[in-house]
Amino acid sequence: MSSTPASAAPAGPLTSAPVAKKVPSARTHHGDTFVDPYEWLRDKENPEVKAHLEAEQAYTDAVTASQEQLRQDIFNEIKNRTQETDLSVPSRKDDWWYYSRIEEGKAYGIYCREAAGNTGNPIADWTPPDVVAGTPVPGEQVILDGNAEAEGKPFFSIGGAAVTQDGNLYAYAVDNAGDERFTVRIKDLRSGELLPDVIENVFYGLTFSPDGSRLFYTVVDDSWRPHQVKVHVLGAPVEQDTVLYQEDDVAMWTGFELSADRRSLVLSIGCSEYSETRYLSFDNPEAGLTLVLPRSERVLYEAEPFLLDGVETILLTHNRNAVNSMVSLVDPAELDKPVADQHWRTVLPHDDGVRVNGATVTSTHLVLSIRKGTIERVQVVPLAGLGTDAQAGAVEPSFDEELYTSHVGGSDYEAPVIRLGYTSYLTPPRVYDYVLPGADQPDGELLLRKETPVLGNYAAADYVAEREWAKAADGTRIPLSVIRRADLARDGSNPGLIYGYGSYEVSMDPGFAVARLSLLDRGVVFVIAHVRGGGEMGRNWYDAGKKLQKRNTFTDFVDATDWLAKSGWVDPARIAAMGGSAGGLLMGAVANLAPEKYAAIVAQVPFVDALTTILDPDLPLSALEWEEWGNPITDADVYRYMKDYTPYENIRPVAYPRIAAVTSFNDTRVLYVEPAKWVQALREKTTGSEPVVLKIEMDGGHGGASGRYEGWKTRAWDYAFVADALGATELLNRRG
């Protein structure tokens, strides 16, 4: 590497963007050679690279200096609407109520518990204690203070925690770099002392064996893929930890969880197209892992062993002859037969209009998570008669709004209630306990435990959230969520922001966001485009936006933008776009496809050099991406298809809009080098005069800097960049 400066910046005020030197690097696949002049920026240890990134941030600071007051205003609006001292609703586990609280001026949560009582009245025993924010809780025991743990550290995040069933030991995993590699420590909650056991380089997820003698955890390989489930015996040297399971297929992800009844450890191995489940019965651990369905069957499924009428049974949520998935029961003895000869009992049949996302059980009910009409819903079915002609119908708690999200927020196997989370674009997050249906209450009962307070005279009636539909070029109807101030005039003069993701079957579900109010109150029409590649319209919607149909994701977004431009709500010259991670790839793609349609684009941790990344299986998580995009290493058609859309390689000499690429130096999911290269190429090719900036958090990970205040600052930065570009800097109620 040359010793010449990585970046050139003029003396005095920083008015010119840093220019990275060019070091040509050739990449050849399938007879095609691509010469990349900026690949050298990948060398994270090179001082020139760090110097260049620091110069980029200095340039960004200079270019956006005029937005500082607006950023501060938006930050203050977020802060002033947030009840800074607050408590979560306690959740019962065994003989304790667990909850977290957060205090004004502190960035991290404090994890606590208090003892639970057992009166013999199930509903009373599962009614959470009445804890009040800012008021001392009698008998409170602080388990972990995140603020104390984070003190003096550049970053702090918890990647998993577990408590033994007797409530005596607490294991927790901490990341102080943002690279999602955690250090596990174990605390004796009776004495408050830490055990000598310390486990390094652990991935997400922890759980104890029922007797508390062993701790299960996951380890990643060199490409950041979770591939081992390991067992630590408390008190033994970490070097003696054993591997319960190792997955050697580089395209498969491994994880685990306890079964609902905590009788088994359930390992999930798979990708987005097929999977494999193995489980360890704690009643008979010497038998080892039991395989449910082998991956060779190419079935995408989840399995949970449980007792049905005292008989060991396996609950299967699967896509065997069911593209949207269905739910079945199978006797473990059937697993010894070829799958074609096994007898499965149908619990929830396949429905083209219903996507089954998951299923679990309590001691009395089956709990289903489904998606119908784009909306995620919860249904319950009594276990009595399950899988027989006597099976009862599903019961679904009902809500008043059209666009909402309802999900299971936790439940205990023996509890007479399940905890539900609820939110919408207009309703702050609520926590309900849903009393499970019985003879005396056939529809169950919703008990509101909390609605997250929003300060500053927030009123849902001041805003509107509507479902609209855009039409794609091929005739497909694309659902849109349109959120705006209720008093906004439909006169074609307003600014608009359109947001999208569209990958991995992830749905952009309705949810409340305090920060979004700052844009709405400046007259911005906020649109979420539920483009193909997401999961909003079922499995086929996802399949229609991946691999060799990935372009649908990008063209759907452009078509959604056209709908917005013609809707009468906005000025077509005042539309911005935003997306993150795979949504950042979407931003890069639409910038190339239709740069003239956007006044500004914010690409958060953007996957804009996707082909280079996926062509190198040694890079973090690359091999796991083949199921989403195809494998360009072995498939020439996939290579050519990706080469035609990947943002970095399709920048052309046109007038690009104002662009901000937001990234973190320690991101392990989308490496900083992708946006760093992208902004260089954009500046080199653009024929316009709008600035292209790189904002980089040197101590952050995929989610940016840690702590709630830093998170608010990040969102304020993004929104100020958009609002400034759209001329939407003043609050509506301040206009004359």
DSSP notation for 189-236:
TTT-PEEEEEEEEE-S-EEE-TTSSEEEEEEE-TTS-EEEEEEEETTS
Query: Angle at the Cα of 660 (from 657 to 664), degrees rounded to 5?
Result: 160
Tens digits of per-residue pLDDT, 160-203?
Answer: 999 999 999 999 999 988 788 899 999 999 999 999 999 999 99
Tens digits of per-residue pLDDT, 474-515?
Answer: 999 999 999 999 999 999 999 999 999 999 999 999 999 999
Domains of the chain by residue range = 86-146, 153-254, 457-734
Sheet strand arrangement including 214-220: 206-208, 214-220, 226-233, 242-246
Q: What is the residue-averaged pLDDT of the chain?
A: 93
Question: Cβ(49)–Cβ(43) under 8 Å?
Answer: yes
Please tell me the CATH superfamily of domain 457-734, with its number. Alpha/Beta hydrolase fold, catalytic domain (3.40.50.1820)
In 3D space, the residue among 717, 512, 681, 469 whose CA is nearest the CA of residue 20 turns out to be 681
Which residues touch 713 (CB under 8 Å, ≥6 apart)? Answer: 71, 75, 705
In 3D space, the residue among 337, 324, 313 whose CA is nearest the CA of residue 386 turns out to be 313
Residue type, 601: I
Distance of alpha carbon 39 from alpha carbon 41, whole angstroms: 5
Residue 9: predicted pLDDT: 34
Tens digits of per-residue pLDDT, 634-678?
Answer: 999 999 999 999 999 999 999 999 999 999 888 666 789 999 999
Please tell me the total number of residues recorded for the chain in this structure: 736
Tokens for 558, please give them: 């452009």
Q: Out of 36, 412, 667, 718, which one is annotated catalytic?
A: 667
| 581 catalytic residue (yes or no) | yes
Residue 705: predicted pLDDT: 55
In 3D space, the residue among 278, 231, 232 whose CA is nearest the CA of residue 252 turns out to be 278
Distance of alpha carbon 490 from alpha carbon 571, whole angstroms: 10
Q: Out of 581, 622, 664, 706, which one is annotated catalytic?
A: 581
Residue 8: predicted pLDDT: 32
| 328 catalytic residue (yes or no) | no
Question: Cβ(331)–Cβ(343) under 8 Å?
Answer: yes
pLDDT band for position 86 (50/70/90)? confident
Residue type, 204: Y
Greatest C-alpha distance within the chain:
81
Strands 326-330 and 311-318: antiparallel
Residue 698: predicted pLDDT: 76
| 702 catalytic residue (yes or no) | yes
Sheet strand arrangement including 311-318: 301-308, 311-318, 326-330, 344-348
Question: Do 153-254 and 457-734 agree at the fold level?
Answer: no
CATH class of 153-254: mainly beta
Tokens for 156, please give them: 């702090």
- Produce one character per residue of 656-685: b if its CB has 16 or more CB atoms within 10 Å, e if not: bbbbbbbbbbbbbbbbbbbbbbbbbbbbee
pTM: 0.90
Q: Out of 481, 518, 702, 724, which one is annotated catalytic?
A: 702
